[in-house]
A and B are shown apart, each in its own frame.
Chain A
């Protein structure tokens, strides 16, 4: 593991330097309620490192909410829309849960038939992680997403007088070398401080999701009445999918121009909570009940994705709990399924 130490007072300079490499995206304050959002950095002073969670996760940069796939015309057929895919970007300030989530998306979008839109954006985007302090909704430690050892170019852990920097890639190393006057070598004392910080963080988790044997228990509770009753509370708004860093479902839309000869095909975020998600032409709905749709989402995260890809489909970021207008809490629903609490 290559490491370096970034002086606290040099952070602004480092960020300014990153802007010379490509478009710099980082968490910044949005609105008045203390919300944060990843957005383009104009002024490095605006970058916030001690945020809890952004409303939208990083997927918006790799699978945009609306993603132009093709332009078509009667004369040319469907032509791939490739603009913007080669843009060089650096996302700074990513929490480990969100890094972990991108690895999940990689499994889907880079595996099998690689998705060229996602692949190009992924290849041209550098990721700089930053350590965080869990709040009462975070349960990343329960699903193995509290700490990542890959999937970043640099990872910064805040210590007293600066940042302990883990270098995760050759490109990350280049970023350090290009501004090496802002860094010094890591000392034994830094390592000791890093370990203290890591331990303190690990002990600060307040929320836990028991995942042992979870796919088996869910399998046995597929027909549980819990789904129908919790489905009654769900509004079917799909908000949980929109804010989820590992939800990737999309639908495809084709919009003709007024000339009737040309137009565009794009994809947009979809959600298995939407009533028409499983409706086939002719009108048959494979999941007509809200409870079935809620079950589909939770099954996909905690049983189906793990079975298919060998890792949790949830990274414990807490967004679906934080932003559900009906107050549904996946950790509570799973405790209910396990028989640990009675609704």
Chain B
């Protein structure tokens, strides 16, 4: 009789295992969205954890489950992880109820992230809509912390109302810097008090100077908005591969098994969430 062997894979780390991390800061941005700063309890794990802008983590709120959430901190600022969490489901509601000092589970990072090596030397045109600001904030800080690696950096950001503008304080500070263009618009300004532009994010293209030949555009907007933003780039002669998009999909595992995030032969969790517009042209249903 053969001995049952110890599971070989058990020796390796269980990829579904959430690792304990402490919530060190919870900063409400809007009525339903907050910035959470996390630190791994295991310091060594925290030091080993490297990532690229555009990657995501699976965050567990004990007792409610797990959700895929984009990192909005930049790997150029190690020691902690930041996520921008909107209260829309069970897990995110639970995360919002936590107080500093509480423990959550974290595994990752997952996904391809933005191809920052390929983007070196290029101008960056970041186009964010709503919560799409979160992954682009990671890329924005990455570019600003490695300022010499990139050409002109421009952020176009559209929020619903002035109250919904995320990272408002730090973006306003960046408006004063001469080495980055920050353009923010709100869809509606019914309550008044918004000194800036009003209109959907595409209105920020009006009069915008962009040298498409040397620019990489990065779009992170709600699913319905891609079809409005992409034409603005195409009419400025952006090629399919110069347009990067970070996509949202339902995910359970984050590691290419559960199937929920499949689009065509791609897994959003492994092959994405960053795809080019050329990918989207060839995979119906991607955007």
Contact B18 A78 (CB under 8 A): yes
Interface assignment of B231: CB less than 8 Å from any CB of chain A: no
Chain A contact residues: helix, strand, loop or mixed: mixed
Which B residues between 59 and 109 are near A, CB-CB below 8 angstroms? 60, 62-67, 86, 88-89, 91-92, 103, 105
Contact A278 B260 (CB under 8 A): yes
| Minimal Cβ-Cβ distance residue in A for B103 | A77
Contact B257 A82 (CB under 8 A): no
Interface assignment of A303: CB less than 8 Å from any CB of chain B: yes
Interface assignment of A222: CB less than 8 Å from any CB of chain B: yes
Contact A280 B250 (CB under 8 A): yes
- Give the complex CA separation of A253 and B257 in angstroms: 15
- In the complex, which of the residues A82, A88, A252, A265 contacts B2, with contact meaning CB atoms closer than 8 Å? A88
Which B residues between 6 and 64 are near A, CB-CB below 8 angstroms? 6-10, 12, 14-18, 20, 60, 62-64
Contact A254 B64 (CB under 8 A): yes
Interface assignment of B258: CB less than 8 Å from any CB of chain A: yes
Count of interface residues, chain A, beta-carbon cutoff 8 Å: 62
Chain B contact residues: helix, strand, loop or mixed: loop
Chain B residues whose C-beta falls within 8 Å of the C-beta of A88 in the assembled complex: 2, 4
- Give the complex CA separation of A20 and B2 in angstroms: 10
Interface assignment of B230: CB less than 8 Å from any CB of chain A: no
A-B contact count (CB 8 A): 153
Stretch from B155-163, B165-173, B190-198, B262-270 forming part of the interface with A: B262-270
Contact A251 B258 (CB under 8 A): yes
Contact A303 B265 (CB under 8 A): yes
The smallest beta-carbon distance between B85 and chain A, in angstroms, is: 10
- Give the complex CA separation of A270 and B250 in angstroms: 13
- Give the complex CA separation of A308 and B86 in angstroms: 33
Interface assignment of A34: CB less than 8 Å from any CB of chain B: no
Chain A to chain B: the 5 pairs with minimum beta-carbon distance, closest first:
A120-B7, A249-B259, A281-B89, A119-B9, A116-B9
User: What are 13 inter-chain pairs, A to B, with CB distance below 8 A?
Assistant: A21-B1, A77-B62, A86-B6, A88-B2, A113-B15, A113-B257, A116-B10, A123-B7, A250-B253, A251-B258, A260-B63, A282-B88, A284-B222
A-B contacts besides A77-B20, A112-B270, A280-B250, 18 pairs, CB < 8 Å: A69-B16, A72-B62, A74-B62, A77-B105, A85-B7, A114-B9, A115-B15, A115-B16, A123-B8, A249-B258, A250-B259, A254-B65, A270-B252, A278-B250, A281-B89, A284-B248, A292-B285, A305-B265
